[in-house]
A and B are shown apart, each in its own frame.
Chain A
Amino acid sequence: MDDTTRIMLDLNAGPENALAVLLAARSPRFTLEGITSVFGTSGAEEGARNALLLAELAAPDRDIPVAIGAAAPLLRECKPAGAGGWALPEPKRKPVPASAAELIVERLNRHRGRITLICCGPLTNVALALVQDPGIADKAKRLVIAGGALKAPGDVTPVSERNLWSDPEAAFRVFRSGIPITLLGLDVTREAALPPELLRSLVKESDAVADFLEQIIRTRTSIRGTGTSSGIPAGDALAVAVAADPGLVETEGFSVMIEIKGTVSRGATLVDLRKGLRPTVHNCDSALKVNNGRLAAGWTELMSRAAKGGAR
């Protein structure tokens, strides 16, 4: 019996996204069913290009499909983002002809109830996929979102986190859709740091990924993570890890609503916390705390199995 966790990754071309791809492609705990790109720190095309290259380097024996996704939010104007700045060679493969939303719909229907979708950027692609086939809300095993800020302050505004702020209308529709959500907001993603030595265990000597990984380690500023560990910011990698092991974070059920209006509040993840009035029907398990006791071991386990198993 296949004991891997089937996942799909939705992301753009940032360095945290790249670590998520490496972890997902390298760790034998996962079967990576596809990668979709979305606008964000880079354009969607650049995101797809980087994802193709990383998938090629990390898992050369597999043909992980990569689809180009939304170039802009559903409704908002979007300024073209600056380039990611990675010195990467051209990938050999091309993106699949399907759009990101089409690939998500196709994969979720093919493996009903078995795929965890992990979104590390704005939620535009999932919102579009839910329009194409609302039935996928019941067919996804779970949607893990690296985004939002439940009790922690925001980043773009005092109450809004960038991914959900970038396309609040998409987020609104996704949270209303009934798809089972695990929300990893700034409450926990800022706490996730991967020590360089642990990251290096993802690669083997003379590995094609090694140079790229060293580039990330060199250019990213180390942060203090949870407990005593410090390392490279790895919020998106945490979302991948949680797909395999939900116990890495402590969650609480909430009915989250997305504010779509307002200069300050746009994209805010709102919950009604009034005593006696808290909704009892939840649309979301929100992580409020990293499980300090388990995260270090969780990372090590994912990484070491990656090293032993190598590329599948």
Chain B
Amino acid sequence: MNPTILDVDTGIDDALAIAYAVRSPALEVLGITTCFGNVSAEEASCNTLTVLDYLESDIPVYQGAGEPLFRKYLGEKAVAIHGEDGLGNRADRILKRGIEKQHAVDFMIEQIKRRPGEVTLVCVGTMTNLALALMKAPEIAGLMKRAVIMGGAVTVPGNVTPWAEANIHNDPEAAEWLFRSSAPVTMVGLDVTMQTLLPEEELDRWRRKNTPLASFMADISEFYIQCYKRNYPGIRGCGLHDPLAVGAVIDPTFVTTVPMHVQVDLEGSLSLARTIGDRREQPDRRPNADVCLTVDADRFLAHFLENTV
């Protein structure tokens, strides 16, 4: 069992990632921390509790950062992609419980220190909570097993701008803080996540299961796929961004990584928040991240579909 903290801004693909992680026997999900991003931190907490309710799970939820470290929020709520409520307008559950009192950042620090060298952090939203934790307790960089982030794009175009990916763009300094921290980082970026599409046909299979969880997952995924079809004409599904980060922890052989020095453009007028991998033959600096460049998409997808709903 891999003790894991999932940091989310739930969001539709976050919901899929939560389900995949919670139902995986390979992971022990210690808690789920929330931050702003696709939605506000408060909405992310409510949506996370909603998803956990469908999963009949009592994993605790800790709310975290509501805004970027050093700047005004650059993005805007991703209504077109994730719906008005962040869950394709399906966050209609009456919640039976609330969030924990402890702040997300303190929960991260506490758990990492309690189990030195064991805890994996899977950050599928902005890296703000983790950056704050590293600011507050820099020693956790050497105590965490690994930070696996969904974010960035080294060898492929961005999504929110031609060069930047949304999770990095929502708080570029937080991402750079993590890259500079000496924590072991695996970057699961658009380089691989745009290759793992959830095919529309699968949703019918989920619906035929006729469980509240399966119907819920099918409905929110349907919303997400419609958005993908508008944004990427001709595409046949939606990108499983956040679930792939979870997949890379469940079975690291789903991806292959290349050690690289990565830095985030914090100043550019055009390429702000671009994750710049030093791909020169003689890089200036030592690698600070393992960047996923290829993915066994079929094997991952089969595993995800088999084990999520």
Chain A contacts to B: CB under 8 angstroms? 153-155, 157-159, 257, 259-265, 268, 270-277
Stretch at the interface among B101-109, B124-132, B269-277: B269-277
From B156, B163, B263, B266, A270 is in contact (CB under 8 Å) with: B163
- The answer to whether B268 and A259 touch across the interface, beta carbons within 8 angstroms, is yes
**Interchain nearest-CB distance for A200 vs B (Å):** 30
**Interchain nearest-CB distance for A256 vs B (Å):** 11
From B157, B232, B272, B284, A273 is in contact (CB under 8 Å) with: B157
**Within 8 Å CB of B283, what residues of A?**
158
From B280, which residue of chain A is reached at the shortest CB distance? A153
- The answer to whether A264 and B276 touch across the interface, beta carbons within 8 angstroms, is yes
From B232, B267, B279, A276 is in contact (CB under 8 Å) with: B232
- The answer to whether A158 and B162 touch across the interface, beta carbons within 8 angstroms, is no
- The answer to whether A270 and B270 touch across the interface, beta carbons within 8 angstroms, is yes
Which residues in window 245-282 of B have CB below 8 A to A?
A: 261, 263, 265-272, 274, 276-281
CA distance A157 to B163 in the complex (A): 17
- The answer to whether A257 and B270 touch across the interface, beta carbons within 8 angstroms, is yes
From A155, which residue of chain B is reached at the shortest CB distance? B280
Which residues in window 266-307 of B have CB below 8 A to A?
A: 266-272, 274, 276-281, 283-284
**Within 8 Å CB of A274, what residues of B?**
157-159, 162
From A160, which residue of chain B is reached at the shortest CB distance? B276
**Interchain nearest-CB distance for B223 vs A (Å):** 21
**Within 8 Å CB of B281, what residues of A?**
153
- The answer to whether B266 and A262 touch across the interface, beta carbons within 8 angstroms, is yes
CA distance A271 to B274 in the complex (A): 13
**Within 8 Å CB of B157, what residues of A?**
272-275
- The answer to whether B263 and A275 touch across the interface, beta carbons within 8 angstroms, is no
From B156, B163, B269, B277, A158 is in contact (CB under 8 Å) with: B277
**Within 8 Å CB of A259, what residues of B?**
268-271
- The answer to whether A277 and B162 touch across the interface, beta carbons within 8 angstroms, is yes
Q: With A155-B280, A270-B270, A272-B157 given, is the CB distance from A265 to B265 under 8 Å? A: yes
- The answer to whether A275 and B162 touch across the interface, beta carbons within 8 angstroms, is no
**Interchain nearest-CB distance for A296 vs B (Å):** 24
**Within 8 Å CB of A270, what residues of B?**
162-163, 270-271
CA distance A268 to B274 in the complex (A): 12
**Within 8 Å CB of A263, what residues of B?**
267
From B158, B232, B268, B280, A265 is in contact (CB under 8 Å) with: B268
CA distance A27 to B163 in the complex (A): 42
CA distance A157 to B263 in the complex (A): 11
The size bracket of the interface on B is 20 to 34
- The answer to whether B163 and A264 touch across the interface, beta carbons within 8 angstroms, is no
**Within 8 Å CB of A154, what residues of B?**
280
- The answer to whether B162 and A262 touch across the interface, beta carbons within 8 angstroms, is no
5 A/B residue pairs, CB under 8 Å, sorted by A: A153-B279, A155-B280, A158-B276, A158-B284, A259-B268
**Within 8 Å CB of A272, what residues of B?**
157, 162
From A260, which residue of chain B is reached at the shortest CB distance? B269
- The answer to whether B267 and A158 touch across the interface, beta carbons within 8 angstroms, is no
Closest 10 CB pairs of A and B: A272-B162, A262-B267, A262-B268, A158-B278, A265-B268, A261-B269, A274-B157, A153-B280, A153-B279, A273-B157
- The answer to whether B279 and A261 touch across the interface, beta carbons within 8 angstroms, is no
- The answer to whether A265 and B271 touch across the interface, beta carbons within 8 angstroms, is yes
CA distance A271 to B283 in the complex (A): 23
**Interchain nearest-CB distance for B76 vs A (Å):** 19
From A149, which residue of chain B is reached at the shortest CB distance? B280
- The answer to whether B267 and A261 touch across the interface, beta carbons within 8 angstroms, is yes
Chain B 26-49, CB within 8 Å of chain A: the 1/0 string? 000000000000000000000000
**Within 8 Å CB of A277, what residues of B?**
162
- The answer to whether B163 and A153 touch across the interface, beta carbons within 8 angstroms, is no
**Within 8 Å CB of A271, what residues of B?**
162
* 10 new A-B contacts at CB < 8 Å, known A153-B279, A260-B269, A265-B268: A158-B261, A159-B276, A259-B270, A259-B271, A262-B269, A264-B268, A268-B268, A270-B271, A273-B157, A276-B233
Most buried by B among A157, A263, A274: A274
**Within 8 Å CB of A276, what residues of B?**
232-234
**Within 8 Å CB of A265, what residues of B?**
265, 267-268, 270-271, 274, 276
- The answer to whether B268 and A261 touch across the interface, beta carbons within 8 angstroms, is yes
Q: With A259-B269, A262-B268, A265-B268 given, is the CB distance from A158 to B280 under 8 Å? A: yes
CA distance A262 to B265 in the complex (A): 7
**Interchain nearest-CB distance for B264 vs A (Å):** 9
**Within 8 Å CB of A275, what residues of B?**
157, 232
CA distance A272 to B156 in the complex (A): 10
**Interchain nearest-CB distance for B280 vs A (Å):** 4
**Within 8 Å CB of B278, what residues of A?**
153, 158
CA distance A157 to B285 in the complex (A): 11
**Interchain nearest-CB distance for A149 vs B (Å):** 10
**Within 8 Å CB of B234, what residues of A?**
276
**Interchain nearest-CB distance for A177 vs B (Å):** 18
From B264, which residue of chain A is reached at the shortest CB distance? A264
**Within 8 Å CB of B274, what residues of A?**
265
From B234, which residue of chain A is reached at the shortest CB distance? A276
Which residues in window 142-179 of B have CB below 8 A to A?
A: 156-159, 162-163
**Within 8 Å CB of A268, what residues of B?**
268, 271
**Within 8 Å CB of A158, what residues of B?**
261, 263, 276-280, 283-284
